């Protein structure tokens, strides 16, 4: 989400190089960090939570970690897996790629985890992936949406999976929604230039919107943690576009929407799953959010997601955001795999890859073995007077059906 591919690889190579002499004493046997069956501590199966608990992305990592802990608590309260309780060992990636490698190394070599969940953001997942792959320890990334997380140079990474849909799906959904539902002919992109998540989404939205006959008439940029957006918004206002696409996170999004409405901008404002936090209403204000739309992983009004939402509120006394929901999904995916594999990391990997029609917090998912991306639905949410309403729901679609649809267009 946050660094270029070259920076991902550089960070991972540097960190792995520094750690190489201390990392592994072998990759084969039962007590080593490597594949096969890890030894559980007594009646426990040990998994690793490698999340951004401090640093710039701590709010994302902490929420995803809470979701994971809830999923594990539920299975442990129900008696565990085959008579064994699941133990989570937490490590802080400190919102840095190199520290993600350090954390993964500790969890694998010292704590003998059988699988990893996290980190939350793309750069940190990619950084740890080589360490985990070398040791045949599966990773489930809850919220890392960049395609490079699970596929590199056209080849799927055998031990890396995700619980979320990917950036191209989000951008294509919102571009089609703008053209077909809102009948938009012109669009402005307003992107976070410090975030590869935002830039990637903007690029794909533009390609799809223009392929469908629309025109992107202006592109402007801001930086994460900016507070005053009015200069750029004043320029955007002159474009008089039908829609403004802002694929960013809720802290900045709330301020952008508030200031846009203060300037008199009434155009529809569109976004993606980074918007999905109730705090955006507190920041922007209820009235400002009218005529705004974003896509995300679930709608809280759906019956199938109510058990998760109620359980999360009961545990943490607050509403879950999208990172919490995806952390929970990742936990459910891993618990399902462990239930069939025990503490054998290789079998856990195989069972994650074979997930079919599994009920998780946000709905049902099936794993695509060719990409290690889940096949899952997408919803578009409209906010009216501070209340989120379901505008449209796009059912899960298999890769084969997607290819057929694209060939027909």
Residue-wise pLDDT for 192-239, tens only, equals: 998 888 998 999 999 999 999 999 999 999 998 889 999 999 999 999
> 141 vs 225, which has greater pLDDT?
141
Fold of 167-296+378-408: Rossmann fold (3.40.50)
Tell me the two tokens of residue 80: 């565990």
Contact at 8 Å (CB) between 383 and 289?
yes
CATH number of 5-165+305-375: 3.40.50.2300
Is the predicted pLDDT of residue 399 greater than 50, yes or no?
no
Tell me the two tokens of residue 168: 């191209």
What number of CA atoms fall less than 13 Å from residue 8's CA on the CB side? 23
Mean pLDDT score of the chain: 87
Query: What's the CA angle centered on 174, arms 185 and 285, to 5 degrees?
Result: 95
* Residue-wise pLDDT tens digits, 258-308: 999 999 999 999 999 989 888 899 999 999 999 999 999 999 889 999 999
pLDDT for 29? 30
Distances (CA, A) of 178 to 192, 252, 336: 20, 22, 38
Lowest mean pLDDT among 152-156, 244-248, 340-344: 340-344
Q: 3-state DSSP call for residue 316? A: helix
pLDDT for 126? 95
pLDDT bucket at 352, cuts 50 / 70 / 90 = very high
pLDDT for 42? 64
Distances (CA, A) of 409 to 212, 274, 281, 402: 10, 29, 38, 11
* Residue-wise pLDDT tens digits, 66-89: 999 999 999 999 999 988 999 999
Is the predicted pLDDT of residue 2 greater than 80, yes or no?
no
Rounded Cα gap, residues 20 and 18, in angstroms: 6
Please report, for the chain, the start and end positions of each structural domain, with discontinuous segments joined by +: 5-165+305-375, 167-296+378-408
Name the nearest CA neighbour of 48 among 343, 385, 366, 314. Answer: 343
Beta bridge pairs of residue 221: 191
CATH topology identical between 5-165+305-375 and 167-296+378-408: yes
Rounded Cα gap, residues 96 and 107, in angstroms: 16
pLDDT for 395? 74
Q: Where does residue 285 fall: left (phi above 0), alpha (psi -120 to 50 degrees), or beta otherwise? A: left
């Amino acid at each position: 989400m946050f660094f270029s591919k070259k920076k991902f690889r550089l960070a991972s190579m540097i960190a792995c190089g520094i750690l190489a002499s201390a990392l592994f004493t072998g990759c084969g046997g039962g007590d080593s960090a490597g594949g096969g069956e890890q030894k559980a501590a007594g009646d426990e199966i040990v998994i690793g939570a490698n999340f951004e608990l401090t640093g710039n992305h701590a709010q994302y990592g902490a929420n995803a970690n809470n979701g994971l802990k809830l999923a594990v608590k539920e299975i442990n309260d129900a008696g565990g897996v085959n008579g064994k309780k699941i133990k989570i060992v937490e490590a802080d990636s400190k919102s840095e790629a190199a520290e993600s490698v350090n954390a993964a190394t500790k969890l694998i070599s010292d704590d003998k985890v059988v699988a990893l969940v996290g980190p939350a953001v793309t750069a940190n997942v990619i950084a740890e992936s080589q360490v985990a792959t070398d040791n045949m320890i599966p990773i489930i990334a809850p919220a890392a949406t960049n395609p490079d997380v699970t596929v590199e140079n056209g080849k799927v990474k055998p031990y890396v999976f995700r619980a979320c849909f990917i950036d191209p799906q989000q951008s294509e959904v919102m571009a089609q929604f703008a053209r077909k539902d809102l009948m938009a002919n012109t669009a402005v992109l307003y992107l976070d230039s410090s975030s590869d998540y935002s830039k990637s989404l903007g690029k794909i939205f533009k390609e799809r919107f223009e392929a469908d006959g629309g025109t992107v008439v202006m592109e402007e940029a801001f930086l994460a943690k900016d507070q005053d957006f009015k200069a750029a918004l004043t320029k955007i206002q002159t474009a008089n576009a039908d829609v403004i696409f802002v694929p960013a996170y809720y802290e900045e999004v709330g301020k952008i929407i508030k200031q846009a409405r203060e300037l008199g901008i009434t155009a529809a404002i569109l976004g993606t799953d980074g918007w999905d936090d109730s705090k955006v209403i507190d920041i922007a204000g209820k009235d400002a959010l009218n005529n705004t739309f974003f896509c995300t992983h679930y709608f809280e009004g759906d019956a199938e997601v109510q058990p998760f939402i109620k359980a999360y509120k009961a545990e943490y006394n607050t509403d879950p955001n999208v990172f919490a929901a995806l952390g929970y999904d990742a936990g459910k995916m891993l618990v399902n795999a462990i239930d069939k594999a025990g503490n054998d990391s290789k079998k856990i990997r195989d069972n994650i890859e074979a997930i079919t029609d599994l009920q998780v917090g946000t709905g049902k998912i099936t794993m695509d073995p060719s990409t290690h991306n889940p096949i899952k639905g997408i919803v578009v949410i409209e906010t009216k007077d501070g209340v989120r309403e379901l505008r449209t729901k796009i059912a899960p679609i298999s890769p084969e059906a997607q290819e057929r649809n694209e060939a027909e267009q």
